[in-house]
Amino acid sequence: MSGAGQDTAIRARGLTKRFGQLVAVDHVDLAVPARHVYGFLGPNGSGKSTTIRMLCGLLTPSEGEIDVLGLSVPREAEALRRRIGYMTQKFSLFDDLEVRENLEFMAAVQGVPKARTARRIDELVEQYHFGDCQKQLAGTMSGGQKQRLALACAVIHEPELLFLDEPTSAVDPESRRDFWEKLFELADGGTTLLVSTHLMDEAERCHRLAVLDRGVLVADGTPAELTARLEGRAFVVASAQPRRAQRRLAELPEVLGVAQVGNELRVLMRAGGPEGGAALARLERVLADGGPAARIRPVRPNLEDVFVAVTRQQRPREERAA
Amino acid sequence: MSWRRLWAIVVKELRQLARDRITLAMIVGIPVIQLVLFGYAINTNLRGLDAGIADQADTAGSRALVMDMLATGVIAPAAHVDTPEELVEMLRQGRISIGVAIPPDFERRRHDGRQVAQVMVDGSDNVVQSAAAQLAQVPVDSAAPDTRAPLVSTPADGPIGIVSFYNPQRRSAVNIVPGLIGVILTMTMVLFTGIAIVRERERGNMELLIATPLSSAELMVGKVLPYIGIGLVQTTVILALGRGLFAVPIQGSLLDVYLAAGLLILANLTMGLLISTRAQSQFQAMQMTFFVFLPSILLSGFMFPFAGMPGPVRWLAEALPLTHFMRLIRGIMLRGAGLAELWREVAALGAFTAVMMAAAILRFRKRLD
């Protein structure tokens, strides 16, 4: 697989997309390293799909520059299409074609050499476990099977770069694990993958992440880097009356978010306020003074905390830099 | 243009079509049903209209005239009354469609060469009116052959003979079946491709397709090709049924008939494609199809003669492929003309196809915005 000479598969500067009054993507700067699984994390409507569509040349950006695999997009989108695979958010293969017919169609359209087509399809059927359902109509398959077929079709021409738009949002956890195994196999084989998701456990698997919120890129880095920034600001509160404790804590100006997880509360402190021991003491004092009895302990921040931190603190922008 | 990709689209369309039973049924069902309905139901050559007769003369001559009229088969006696006033009353009530009034001085009028009788018509129906004109041609048979005069025209007019060329028995089916090929092809072909692109957009296939190296031209041409074959199958069904059920002759060459049909098929398919690139949903595509279909039926000369239309309407009709096909197919099937003699219509259909195809390819963007 080519692309080995390049270290950055995708580079975008000031990428912006407006739909009338709405700014769907707002001056996003991106650098996606080659041969990585790069994640786009963000809630629905945060501009993940729009960004992916601009990167593969399906939407024209209102502003900004895009360089994908050394090609300028959208100007050279046609040349780019031979080198990328794209898996849409909604299943977009043909429901009324059989599994093998779908693969045959995509092979021909993607320009897999004729002599190689049958062998390549056999290979994919084997790898993606379609041995016993090659004759099944795609529309009659389960969600997990459909995702596998969509992935098999997206990589049939062995693209250097693969875009996956929320690939596993309609799939059970077991299928999702298998699916991610496949993604890492592809990355090991030299493919760059850009995966959008709103699921934290998926985001954690990525080599690197960009967090998008309302069209703005609010954070990026490896999952470890992102969580390390919140060190000392995450706590777990165990109380017999978690809801009362939650109301009490949510009133504090230095608390950014309180979420109930089972019988416990997960508390995230605002940046610039007390951290570590000072924060712990502050929380204990508040609950001792009129709140329900509780035990508080510091925890390692996770990506959900990162997500809460970067999306809630977005409005005062200076703070975000902290 | 890559033949491999083009062929991939054609194969995909055919495979999808083979699994789409409703569309398959429509391909054969529409021509059969329409042909049988139109062939039997649309009959401008009326028989057995209810007629009231008021023969005030009641002479041998007047009775002979009435018998002659009945013998045409156009009218059937429903009532015999005494005065023309009663006929008018019955017409108004809708009990009869035609009244025949013969005045008491029938013999004198006939001798003087004046109007001898009156045919009263329910003018609210066009077709009945033309049937009455047919009745008026019944000669006033008598011992004096040179006094044959049309009944309703002015006395100065001589007998007017209408001779029908090309369809001597005036059978409607002979006129209708060739045109029906065009009507059915217009309806089905525009509709099939009209929804072809929109359907892929609605089902989400389009986002996948435009992210591949597939070009607009490959997609458009690949979508059209399978339907050319289907259109020719439909043409064959109509021709065979037209021959079997209505004994419709083909005076010209069969090859010319198929070539003409092929031209119309292409024109309609490309128009459908253009609709498909515009429409946002399959429903919208259907609406647009009807927007084209109705003027085609009304203005092409299929239902009403082209010669009777005012200028601007003629220009509009000239822009419809069905108008040109009507002239082609009637020329070939009924008059035995060759395609080369009708080159104007061939050129018009070819130009229409080229413009539509170009517009469809240009309009189709491999973009989502």
Whether B209 has its CB under 8 Å from any CB of chain A: the answer is yes
Of A49-63, A109-123, B238-252, which gets the smallest average pLDDT? B238-252
Between chains, do B205 and A93 touch, taking CB under 8 Å as contact? Answer: yes
Nearest Cα of chain B lies from the Cα of A133 at a distance, in angstroms, of 18
* Domain membership flag for residue B162: no
Q: Does a structural domain hold residue B16?
A: yes
User: Do B179 and B34 share a domain, yes or no?
Assistant: yes
Q: Rg for chain A (alpha carbons), in Å?
A: 23
Residue B339 located in a structural domain = yes
| Cross-chain residue pair B12–A93, CB shorter than 8 Å | no
Element (H, E) at A123: helix A114-127
Residues of chain A contacting residue B206, judged by C-beta atoms under 8 Å apart: 92
For residue B114, name the pLDDT band (cuts at 50, 70, 90).
Answer: confident
Residues B187 and B140 in one domain: no
Residue B12: which of A57, A84, A94 has the nearest Cβ? A94
Instruction: Tell whether A146 is within 8 A of chain B (Cβ).
Output: no
pLDDT at B59 over 90: no
**β pairing state of B118-121 and A8-19:** unpaired
What burial class does residue A244 get, using C-beta atoms within 10 Å of its C-beta: 0-12 exposed, 13-18 middle, 19+ buried? middle
Q: Over range A284-290, report the average pLDDT.
A: 87
In chain A the first and final C-alpha atoms are separated, in Å, by 41
Of B147, B181, B214, the last residue of a domain is B147
What's the first-to-final CA gap in chain B, in angstroms?
A: 24
The per-residue pLDDT of chain B, averaged, comes to 83
User: Taking 80 as the threshold, does the pLDDT of residue B43 lie above it?
Assistant: no
Least CB–CB distance from A110: residue in B19, B205, B212: B212
| Structural domain includes residue B227 | yes
Are the CB atoms for B98 and B122 separated by under 8 Å? yes
The predicted-structure confidence for B25-38, as pLDDT tens digits, reads as follows 988 898 899 888 87
The verdict on B266 and B353 lying in the same domain is yes
pLDDT band at residue B128 using 50, 70 and 90 as cut-offs: low
Which chain B residue has its CA at the smallest distance from A82's CA?
B213
Work out the pLDDT band at B172, boundaries 50, 70, 90. Answer: low
- The verdict on residue B160 lying in a domain is no
E strand or H helix that includes residue A176? helix A173-188
Query: Does any domain span residue B191?
Result: yes
In this complex, do A108 and B5 lie within 8 Å of one another by their Cβ atoms? yes
CB B224 within 8 A of CB B270: yes
Which helix (H) or strand (E) segment holds residue B41: the answer is helix B21-41
Q: Which residues of B touch A138 (CB under 8 A)?
A: none
Determine, yes or no, domain membership for B352: yes
- Please check the confidence at residue A79 and state whether its pLDDT lies above 50: yes
Whether B305 and B216 map to the same domain: the answer is yes
d(CA B264, CA A108): 31
Q: Is the CB of A58 less than 8 angstroms away from the CB of B213?
A: no
Contact criterion met (CB below 8 Å) for B235 and B183: no
Contact B212 A59 (CB under 8 A): no
Q: Is B279 helix (H, G, I), strand (E, B) or coil?
A: coil
Contact A97 B12 (CB under 8 A): yes
**Any residues with CB less than 8 A from the CB of B79 and at least 6 apart, and which?**
B52, B53, B90, B95, B96
- At A170 the pLDDT is 75
**Rounded-to-integer distance, Cα A283 and Cα A274, Å:** 10
* Same domain, residue pair B201 and B217: yes
Does B343 contact A at CB distance below 8 Å?
Answer: no
Tell me if A50 sits within 8 A of A59, measured CB to CB: yes
For the cut 60, the answer to whether the pLDDT of residue A322 exceeds it is no
DSSP string, B309-348: S-HHHHHHHHTSHHHHHHHHHHHHHTT---TTTTHHHHHH
Res B67 pLDDT > 60: yes
CB contacts of B367 in chain A (<8 Å) are 58-60, 74
d(CA B145, CA B17): 67
Nearest CB to B367: which of A58, A84, A114? A58
Weakest mean pLDDT among A30-39, B149-158, B169-178, B347-356 = B149-158
How confident is the model over A210-244, as pLDDT tens digits?
999 999 999 999 999 999 999 889 999 998 888 99
Residue B171, pLDDT above cutoff 80: no
Lowest mean pLDDT among B49-58, B170-179, B199-208, B226-235: B170-179
Same domain for B70 and B133, yes or no, is yes
Q: Do A109 and B214 touch (CB under 8 A)?
A: yes
Are A86 and B367 an interchain contact pair (Cβ–Cβ within 8 Å)? no
* Domains of chain A and CATH, by start: 8-226 (3.40.50.300), 230-320 (3.30.70.2070)
Asked if the model's pLDDT at residue B166 lies above 60, the reply is no
Cβ pair A93, B212 in contact under 8 A: no
In chain B, the number of structural domains is 2
Per-residue pLDDT for A205 more than 60?
Answer: yes
Range of the domain at B324: 3-42+171-363
Q: Are residues B217 and B276 in the same domain?
A: yes
With beta carbons less than 8 A apart as the criterion, state whether B189 and B232 touch: no
The predicted-structure confidence for A134-187, as pLDDT tens digits, reads as follows 999 999 999 889 999 999 999 999 999 999 999 987 788 888 888 999 999 999
pLDDT digits (tens, 9 = 90+) for B259-287: 999 999 999 999 999 999 888 899 999 99
Average pLDDT over residues B195-204: 88
CB-CB neighbors (< 8 A) of A88 in chain B: 204, 207-208, 211
Residue B156: the pLDDT is 35
Contact A111/B11, CB-based, under 8 Å?
no
pLDDT at B230 over 80: yes
Q: Are residues B65 and B30 in the same domain?
A: no
Q: CB of B24 within 8 Å of any CB in chain A?
A: no
pLDDT at A100 over 90: yes
Least confident of A48-62, A304-318, B134-148: B134-148
Q: Select from B5, B6, B12, B215 the residue whose CB has the most chain A CBs within 10 Å, as the one to mutate to test that interface.
A: B12
Q: What is the CATH number of the domain that holds B70?
A: 3.40.1710.10
**Whether residue B144 has pLDDT greater than 70:** no
Q: With CB atoms and an 8 Å threshold, state whether B212 touches A109.
A: yes
CA distance A52 to A57: 9
Interface check B21 vs A, CB under 8 A? no
CB contact under 8 A, A110 and B213: yes
> What proportion of chain A, given as a percentage, has pLDDT over 90?
69
Do B368 and A59 lie within an 8 Å CB cutoff? yes
pLDDT band at B154 (very low <50, low <70, confident <90, very high): very low
Kindly state whether residues B185 and B322 are assigned to the same domain.
yes
Q: Which of B95, B112, B147 is the last residue of a domain?
A: B147
Q: Is residue B156 part of a domain?
A: no
How far CA A143 is from CA of A148, A176, A179, B49, in Å, comes to 9, 10, 12, 66
Question: Is residue B195 domain-shared with residue B293, that is, in the same domain?
Answer: yes
The reply to whether residue B211 touches residue A84, judged by beta carbons under 8 angstroms, is: yes
Can you read off the two tokens belonging to residue A7? Answer: 């270290």
Using CB atoms, pick whichever of B4, B16, B368 lies closest to residue A108. B4
> Do B268 and B283 have their domain in common?
yes
Averaged pLDDT, B136-153:
49
**What gap in Å lies between CA A17 and CA A51, rounded to an integer?**
8
Tell me the whole-structure pTM to 2 decimals: 0.80
Report pLDDT digits (tens) over A6-31.
Answer: 689 999 999 999 999 999 999 999 99
Cα–Cα distance list, B162 to B67, B115, B120, B135, B170 (Å):
21, 20, 21, 12, 11
* Total beta-carbon pairs less than 8 A apart between chain A and chain B: 77
* Residues B201 and B129 both lie in one domain: no
Q: Which residues of A touch B13 (CB under 8 A)?
A: none
User: What is the average pLDDT across B151-165?
Assistant: 40
CB contact under 8 A, A92 and B214: no
Give the residue, B130 or B38, on which the prediction is more confident: B38
Is the Cβ of B18 closer than 8 Å to some Cβ of chain A?
no
- Rg, Å, chain B Cα set: 27
What pLDDT is recorded for position B140?
Answer: 62
Mean pLDDT throughout B246-253?
85
Q: Which of A56, A104, A111 sits opposite B211 (nearest CB)?
A: A56
